[in-house]
Amino acid sequence: MIRVLIAEDHLMVRAGIRALLEKAGDIHVMGEASNGQEAIDMVQEHKPDVLIMDIMMPRMNGIQAAENIRDLKLPTNILILSMYADTGFVHQALQFGVKGYVLKSSVSDELLRAVRAVANGQTYLSSPISEIVVESVINPRVGGKDKDPISGLSPREKEILQLIAEEHTSSEIAGLLFISEKTVEKHRARLMEKLSVRNLAGLVRLAVKYRLVDRDS
């Protein structure tokens, strides 16, 4: 039996994924998370075979969560399930050890195939994602980071930037991360310096531009 966790912030989408997986017969859904931090906590607790995870989630997105899970050296294999066939996302995901990347537009039997492959340690990419990877090998400039300033931030800096972009106050961020408000302010000042912006609006614009948060957030 393949043990799976689902990390997706939309309840109805989670329910649909769960229903599809549970009909398979060889997959057991151990639990559900609604943001990246919950996903990390649940993976640490349950150590599932596969974590199916969206990219665009509040609190901490899927790319950041994958980076944290990799750094914690947890045994769970990660399968990204996203609506974005984005070169930057694909390369970051693979860089942080993600084993599979499936588009939501093709969710059906393909998701089941992907889960089984990833559970066995194999890599599974939807056809459009495979094309992105192949194109980046043929033409390396296509797969470049395009001077993405976000990629140079530490995991904690990315986490704080996302929370700022989600309009959390310094006090709220301090409470979520168990740090002092003074530390949050230091991080914010450092982010402005690193990203060469003068105010919070500039930080938010960059977070949206480089899809650290959803455009609709």
Q: What is the pLDDT of residues 73-106, one digit of tens each?
A: 999 999 999 988 878 888 889 989 999 999 988 7
Does residue 165 contact residue 203 with C-beta atoms inside 8 Å? yes
DSSP codes joined into one string, 99-119: -EEEEGGG-SHHHHHHHHHHH
154 and 134 in a single domain? The answer is no
89 and 183 in a single domain? The answer is no
Domain boundary among 119, 138, 157: 138
Does residue 70 contact residue 45 with C-beta atoms inside 8 Å? no
CATH of the domain at 176: 1.10.10.10
The whole-angstrom separation of Cα 172 and Cα 181 is 9
The whole-angstrom separation of Cα 99 and Cα 93 is 8
155-205 tens-digit pLDDT = 889 999 999 999 999 999 999 999 999 999 999 999 999 999 989 899 999
pTM here is 0.81
126 and 155 in a single domain? The answer is no
- Determine phi and psi for 82, rounding to 5 degrees: -140, 160
Token pair, residue 2, equals 């393949």
Q: What's the whole-number mean pLDDT along residues 136-145?
A: 61
12 and 99 in a single domain? The answer is yes
User: How many domains does the structure of the chain reveal?
Assistant: 2
* Owning domain of residue 193: 149-209
Q: Which residue has the tokens 């906590």?
A: 41
186 and 89 in a single domain? The answer is no
Q: Is residue 143 assigned to a domain?
A: no
Q: Which residue has the tokens 């094309």?
A: 131
Count of CB atoms within 10 A of residue 26's CB? 11
107 and 32 in a single domain? The answer is yes
